[in-house]
């Protein structure tokens, strides 16, 4: 009974806070809202993807879902790689019924678990002949500042947002090369811009900072893209990183309550996930960007990444550290 009263009081309080924040935040965020609306990029192309295969990680919701939907509309064979087979199957069902594309399928892969990534690639290599587009989209926010570790001992935000995709891409590289011209698209964030990467602490072993880990993982996406582009030069594989914009998706659901309330009070002004997917689709399909392999995009345009994001030495060191942490070379 007392518990129930407390829950109701919390609910009422949360509504009051929501409205106060909405009233306070609206004028404060107005310039941001206008900026988002004015700069939202569009990619208009009739490119057909018949005969092409694409993998989109984290495609059961948000930006990944709309990316997969677009590829399906262009007749690609699309594999939705998600940690919950049930949620991915439901998304694949919807996409199939919207597009009449029976080549849209859901496969299980928890990108934060390296053995799951390896099992996914093993199946892929057995069942699929080619890979034209790999969109490394799955991601989680910082959520809590509790240094959660996966069962394999990896810090969870880094495991999901960087290590898993690093391993996945490397294990699929032969297939990408065989299918060239092919592309790797890494969904980063402008949150990378303020991040500082301590190369001696890539797996948060020395120190963990829950407020900074998301930005660091997104900086790793940018650095990984640079180094991948350098290593795949002249192979026909190209790589791009991007900021999708500020998009209303479930990624904010793990933010601390007050921040969540603040964000959600202005949610209707954010990009839709369809608008958020535009830059991923642009990086996967635009005709003229191959010479820009390694670059960072936003709103379907080339953008400057942070100074740390351009640091070639740091990118090389991150590659080596990631090889060790994911045991890429050992198995
Ligand atoms: N929304 C924004 O404003 C924004 C801004 C900048 C960058 N981004 C980036 O955009 C990407 C997509 O995020 P979103 O905004 O579309 O959020 P979202 O709707 O929460 O989508 C995230 C997707 O990743 C999946 N995922 C999470 N952990 C996974 C794991 N361990 N293995 C496999 N899949 C996993 C989720 O699946 P479940 O359903 O199983 O959780 C979901 O499908 C992320 O990389 C994010 O960092 C978003």
Instruction: Please list the pLDDT of the chain residue by residue as tens digits (331 residues).
Output: 444 455 556 556 666 766 676 676 667 667 766 766 666 778 899 999 999 999 999 999 999 999 999 999 999 999 999 999 999 999 999 999 999 999 999 999 999 999 999 999 999 999 999 999 999 999 999 875 577 999 999 999 999 999 999 999 999 999 999 999 999 999 999 999 999 999 999 999 999 999 899 999 999 999 999 999 999 999 999 999 999 999 999 898 877 777 777 777 777 778 999 999 999 999 999 999 999 999 999 999 999 999 999 999 999 999 999 999 999 976 5
Write down how long the chain is.
331
Strands 301-303 and 296-298: antiparallel
Instruction: Return the best residue to mutate from 57, 65, 138 for the ligand 1 pocket (most ligand atoms within 8 A of CB).
Output: 138
Report d(CA 31, CA 91) in Å as an integer. 35
In sequence order, which residues have a C-beta less than 8 Å from that of residue 135 and are 6 or more positions away? 54, 55, 56, 57, 64, 67, 185, 187, 280, 284
Report d(CA 8, CA 56) in Å as an integer. 40
Q: For ligand 1, which residues put their CB under 6 angstroms from it?
A: 57-58, 60-64, 82-84, 87, 110-112, 137-140, 160, 187, 189, 243-244, 246-247, 249-251
Using CA atoms, how far residue 69 sits from 48, 188, 248, in Å, is 13, 20, 17
Long-range contact set of residues 98-101: C-beta below 8 Å, sequence gap at least 24: 98/69, 98/72, 99/69, 99/72, 99/73, 101/72, 101/73, 101/75, 101/76
- Number of C-beta neighbours around residue 272 at 10 A: 16
Kindly report, residue by residue over 34-88, the tens digit of the pLDDT. 766 666 778 899 999 999 999 999 999 999 999 999 999 999 999 999 999 999 9
Taking the C-alpha atoms of 114, 119, 120 and 124 in order, what is their torsion angle to the nearest 10 degrees? Answer: 140
Kindly report, residue by residue over 123-166, the tens digit of the pLDDT. 999 999 999 999 999 999 987 557 799 999 999 999 999 999 99
- Number of C-beta neighbours around residue 134 at 10 A: 28
Report d(CA 329, CA 323) in Å as an integer. 7
Residue whose structure tokens are 């793990």: 254
Longest CA–CA span in the chain (Å) reads 68
In sequence order, which residues have a C-beta less than 8 Å from that of residue 271 and are 6 or more positions away? 36, 40, 244, 245, 246, 247, 248
CATH 3.40.50.300 fits 46-325, yes or no: no
Can you give the residue ranges of every domain in the chain? 46-325
Find the 138 Cα to ligand 1 centroid distance in Å.
Answer: 4
Instruction: Return the best residue to mutate from 63, 85, 148 for the ligand 1 pocket (most ligand atoms within 8 A of CB).
Output: 63
Determine phi and psi for 139, rounding to 5 degrees: -165, 155
Find the 1 Cα to ligand 1 centroid distance in Å.
Answer: 37
């Amino acid at each position: 009974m007392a518990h129930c009263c407390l829950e109701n009081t919390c609910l009422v309080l949360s509504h009051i806070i929501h409205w106060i924040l909405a009233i306070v935040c609206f004028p404060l965020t107005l310039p941001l809202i206008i900026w988002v609306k004015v700069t939202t990029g569009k990619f208009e192309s009739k490119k057909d993807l018949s005969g092409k295969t694409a993998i989109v990680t984290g495609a059961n919701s948000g930006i990944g879902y709309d990316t997969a939907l677009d590829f399906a509309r262009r007749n690609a064979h699309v594999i939705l790689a998600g940690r919950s087979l049930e949620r991915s199957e439901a998304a694949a069902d919807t996409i199939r019924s919207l597009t009449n594309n029976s080549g849209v399928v859901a496969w299980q892969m928890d990108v934060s678990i390296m053995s799951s990534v390896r099992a996914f690639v093993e199946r892929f290599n057995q069942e699929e002949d080619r890979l034209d587009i790999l969109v490394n989209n799955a991601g989680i926010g910082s959520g809590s500042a509790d240094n959660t570790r996966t069962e394999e001992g990896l810090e969870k935000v880094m495991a999901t947002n960087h290590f898993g995709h690093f391993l996945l891409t490397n294990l699929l590289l032969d297939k990408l090369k065989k299918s060239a011209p092919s592309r790797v698209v890494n969904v980063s964030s402008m949150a990378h811009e303020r991040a500082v990467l301590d190369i001696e602490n890539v797996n948060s072993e020395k120190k963990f900072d829950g407020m900074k880990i998301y930005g660091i993982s997104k900086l790793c996406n940018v650095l990984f893209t640079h180094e991948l582009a350098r290593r795949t030069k002249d192979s026909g594989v190209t790589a791009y990183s991007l900021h999708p914009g500020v998009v209303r998706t479930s990624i904010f659901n793990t933010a601390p309550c007050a921040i969540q309330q603040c964000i959600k009070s202005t949610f209707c002004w954010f990009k839709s996930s369809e608008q958020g997917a535009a830059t991923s689709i642009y990086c996967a399909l635009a005709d003229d960007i191959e010479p820009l392999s390694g670059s960072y995009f936003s709103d379907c345009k080339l953008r400057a990444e942070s100074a740390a994001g351009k640091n070639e030495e740091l990118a090389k060191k991150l590659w080596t550290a990631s090889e060790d942490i994911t045991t890429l070379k050992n198995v």
